[in-house]
Each structure stands twice: as C-alpha cells, then as structure tokens.
Structure 1
Amino acid sequence: MLMVPVRQLGETERGAVERLLDLDPFAAAQVAERVAAHGLSWWRADGRIFGYGSRRQVESLCWLGGHLTPILASKPAVAAFAERIGSEERLCSSIVGRADAVLGLWERLESRWGPARDVRPNQPLLAAEGPAPVRPDPDVRLARSDEMDLLFPAAVAMYTEEVGASPLVDDGGRGYRRRVLDLVRARRAYVKVVDGEVVFKAELAVVTRRTAQIQGVWVAPEWRGRGIATAAMSAVMRDATGRVAPTVSLYVNDYNVPARRVYERCGFRSVGTFATVLF
C-alpha cells in the first residue's frame, strides 16, 4: 500500500501529537500552547498541523499558521514538509524552530517563497529551572491594564528593534496592542517603572505545562549598561517558576552578547539552537 508521508492531522490524533510535542518541550512550546488551547481543528487554532510518518506512527510535526514551525523533523521529514507546504502561497510571517530543520526547510522553500527579509541561523535556545542564583529586583512587577499607555511605546520600541520592522505598519498597531493587553490581563507581562517611565519589560509570551517562554525582554536605551537587566530577569524567573510553570526558556540572537551574559548569570543552560527566517 502506498504511504503518503505528510498529511494534515485532526482532532482524533491529538494524543499522538501531544506525545510528540512533549518530547521537545522547549522547542515545541509555541505549538504545544496552541494545541492545548484550541486542539487540532484548524478553524479554532488559526493554523494547521501536518504529520510525517505512517498512519500508525507519526514521527515528525510541522505547524503552519502565522509561523511555520517544524518539530522533531528529520531530514526526510523536512524534505517531505517542504514539498507539501511549498506548493501553497506563503502566508506565514516567519519560519522558526530548531536550526537544522528550519534551515533545511528554507533551503527548499527559498526559490518559491523568497526572498526573506532576514535569516537568523544561530539563536541559542536556553532554559532554566527554579529561581536564578541572583538576587531579584524587588521593583520588577506584573504590569497593570491601566498602564497600557505607558507600556505600549516600550513594547513597540522592543518589537521594532528586535524584528527590524514596526508593529504599527499594517493596522496602526491595533492588533499588536491587543496582544500586549492580553498578556497584561493574563498576568504574563512584567515591568520596572522609574519616574513614570518603563525602563525594563518582559513577557511570558508562551506558557505550557512544561515551560514559560520569555520574550520581549527590553531595557530602555538610556538605562543600558547600568546592570539592571540581570536582577530584573531574576525577578521574572522567580515569579514565573513559582506561579506559572516549572521552567523558563527563551531564545536569543547569537550576536546579542550582553543579553547572553545576563542569561548566563541567571542560570540559563543551552538546550539547542533555533533559527528564524523573517518575511
């Protein structure tokens, strides 16, 4: 019987999908959060998940929504996913995940989906358990909904600096503001405010039962070099591992040496390498 190696998975295969996601809890966190919240029905999850392997045993996964994310993708799986997905118009804004799979996909998809706005081939994936071995900053706290006018400019500055494009372009920032407000309301956004100014911010952008993924870490430019980031991150880690998930994780650009030093001081360890292709 002819086996079709890649197929879209449905709710009846949710158990198999969750078992695979659990095998790579840090790299698969974004997809695991989506599946836990919405299942595998694409109209609810705002994305589709493809499986590679036989109908009895799915070996690799690939999420296609706002982002394209391969999970536990072997070289044959990468080739099969690229062949299946590359026939469609590109709608995702990035390809992100473990570097070998992401770069393998991009090698096969570039001629169809390119050019990319940026390719970041080496992003250390880091994780930590428990509080940091650094005294936390007592002034870092959860942001409040009534502070959105204070927080949003800092969030825009962080996004523009990190991604290389403004989140205000497409819809004046309404969608991005909703996203930030959702994180604040979910008690997943942290700030340090000094004299009415946000000087540090970070969010738990992804939360699963295994990890809370920290994103959006930002220090106001005029406060950089003063040593506030380490204690501030320690405060985020203490709250997140005490209240939200047993571990924290993140990925960082390899060239961001100051941030990598902060994370090292906070007790993060390497759990692999990510890559990101931005469109």
Structure 2
Amino acid sequence: MLTTRHGVRVLAAADLEEFLALANQDPVVNVFAIHRAQTTSLEPRWLGGEMWGRFDGGRLVSACHVAANLVPVQAGPEDAAVFAERALARRRTASTIVGPQDAVRAFWDLVGESWGRPRDERWDQRHLVIDAEPQVAPDPAVRVTARTDLPALYPACVAMYTEEVGVSPETGGGSELYRTRVLQLISRGWSFARFDRGELVFKAEVACATPDAAQIQGVWVPPHRRGEGLAVAGMAAVVSLVRDRISPAVSLYVNEWNAPARRAYERVGFRETTRFATVMF
C-alpha cells in the first residue's frame, strides 16, 4: 500500500528487480545504492535503514536510500522534495546526505532548517569515471593489501579520514568499528597500497562495487611524500587492478577545491560525468 499522497513507500525484497532496473539507468552514479540493494535484498534489518520508492501510475520512478547515508537514486528535484517531506515526519538518522547535486540541494532546501546545522557542506564535487586503461604507466609496487599490512595501513586510514572529513573515525570510541571496516576491505581484496621500506606511501580502497562499476574512496599519500607523483602512478595501478579483478568502470568523486587531486585523476584518464554534493553532520 502507498503510504503518502505522493506515492512513496518503503521498498522490500519483492521490489528488488524493479529497483535494480531503475538504478541501472545510471549504474556508475548509482553504484552505492545498487551495491546496497544487491547485498541486502532491500531488507531493512540488513540495510540498517530503509529504501524508499516513489511510484507514479504503479511504476517506480525514483528512490532514496535512508540509513547512515541518505542517497537519492534517479531522483529529480521534485522527487527529492517528496522524499524530504517524508523525512521531516521522522527523526534524522542520516549522518551524511550525498548524491547528485540537484537532488541533494532540493532535499536540503526543505529539511535544512529542521535538521540543524551540518558539520560541513560540499556543494561542488566532481563525479569522475574511467572505463579504459589508464593514460599513464601504473606503479608496479601498488598491490592488494593483506592482514599483515594492518599495522601500517590502519593509521594511514585514520589519518586520511580525519584529513578528509574533519573528525577522526575513532571519535566516541569508534576505533574498533573502523578497524573492522578496514579489515573487511582487506578481506574482500578491495584495499590497495604501496609501501616503501615498510612505510605506507600511497593507498586507496574500493568503497562499493557491482558487476558494472566500482567506486574508489580513501585515496591518500602522506603529506611529506606529496608532489612525487605517487598518487598519479598509484591511481593508475588501482584502476588497472580494479578493472582486472572487480569491475570494468572505476568511479570516484572529488571536491572542486582539491586541485592537486583533480589534476592527478585527469592525468590518469578520469573524466567528469556529473556533479555531486555532500552534507555531513
């Protein structure tokens, strides 16, 4: 049964096929939502939240992942506004709103006053993709990490997260949970790094993946090794490894103001497809 006059309801396992058909209209931009749907079958207990769907004439036309990450899926501004209306009727559970810029803006314009002041707002993030071999030579020293790399890898992950997000993932006793996440990525073969005499000098991870695309996160070079070209050759290696082992298209999104990172990705061969926005609490 539809739960509002706008035709929005919580999706369930029976809606999985229709949801995937919707999200696969743009399988690279929607890789996070597709990955979550495929790994949870849209069951709220596995999602840690809900997937909302908006229907028009009985047809699913847009969706919204509502958990720690709130992510619009194939949602235009009108769809996002409808999801925002539903969100205002409940307590905020999301720590991040992220997705295509227009949808995030339309959602935030309606909920912002009620949801309180965010920790950070990033309204111009470039969504990039590469679906061919990199344009520069990959660094042959970049490899898939192993559990034995954890003593060097984990502090680098904490440093990257803190630099990028502005708060440590260990805040509030979160170290065990974050360490578990890092180990999970290692066990999946989704963690990549280069080590120089035992020191980690480049790293990146796959955040989520489907048979069509993989999304990269956590690209990092320690400050004292920046400017040496490690990120360019390292990302070229990650692209090659991911395309060989996981998915044919590799995506990420980067802040507009991060000119060094944008230059590095451009040299590797990434191209812009759309603009993202992120609101963090």
**Length-normalised TM-score, structure 2:** 0.96
Superposed, which structure 2 residues align to 1:158-197 within 5 Å?
158-197=160-199
| AA at the equivalent of 2:121 | V
Q: CA deviation at 1:75?
A: 2.2
- Contact 2:55–2:61 (8 Å) recurs in 1: yes
> Could you tell me how far apart the structure 2 residues matched to 1:14 and 1:206 are?
18
**Residues 80-104 of structure 1 deviation map (CA, whole Å, 9 limit, x = unaligned):** 1000012211111100000000111
**Residues 127-154 of structure 1 deviation map (CA, whole Å, 9 limit, x = unaligned):** 0012201111010001110111110000
| AA at the equivalent of 2:41 | G
- Contact 2:77–2:107 (8 Å) recurs in 1: no
The aligned length equals 279
Give 1:247's match in structure 2, choosing from 246, 249, 271. Answer: 249
Unpaired segments ≥5 residues, structure 2: none
Partner in structure 2 of residue 103 of structure 1: 105
> Could you tell me how far apart the structure 2 residues matched to 1:124 and 1:18 are?
24
- Contact 1:5–1:80 (8 Å) recurs in 2: no
- Contact 1:125–1:274 (8 Å) recurs in 2: yes
Partner in structure 2 of residue 122 of structure 1: 124
> Could you tell me how far apart the structure 1 residues matched to 2:76 and 2:7 are?
12
Superposed, which structure 2 residues align to 1:1-279 within 5 Å?
3-54=5-56, 56-279=58-281
**Residues 205-239 of structure 1 deviation map (CA, whole Å, 9 limit, x = unaligned):** 11111111110000011100111111110000001
**Length-normalised TM-score, structure 1:** 0.97
Q: What is the root-mean-square deviation in Å for CA atoms of aligned residues?
A: 1.3
Q: CA deviation at 1:78?
A: 1.3
* Aligned-residue identity in percent: 41
- Contact 1:130–1:242 (8 Å) recurs in 2: no
> Could you tell me how far apart the structure 2 residues matched to 1:114 and 1:104 are?
16
Q: Secondary structure, in 3 states, of the residue corresponding to 1:23?
A: coil
- Contact 2:124–2:277 (8 Å) recurs in 1: yes
1:62 to 1:172, Cα distance in 2 relative to 1, 3 A:
closer
> Could you tell me how far apart the structure 2 residues matched to 1:151 and 1:108 are?
40
Unpaired segments ≥5 residues, structure 1: none
Q: CA deviation at 1:3?
A: 4.8
- Contact 1:3–1:54 (8 Å) recurs in 2: no
| AA at the equivalent of 1:134 | V
Q: Secondary structure, in 3 states, of the residue corresponding to 1:160?
A: helix
Q: CA deviation at 1:50?
A: 0.6
**Residues 167-213 of structure 1 deviation map (CA, whole Å, 9 limit, x = unaligned):** 01122411111001100111110011012110100001111111111
More displaced, 251-260 or 87-96? 87-96
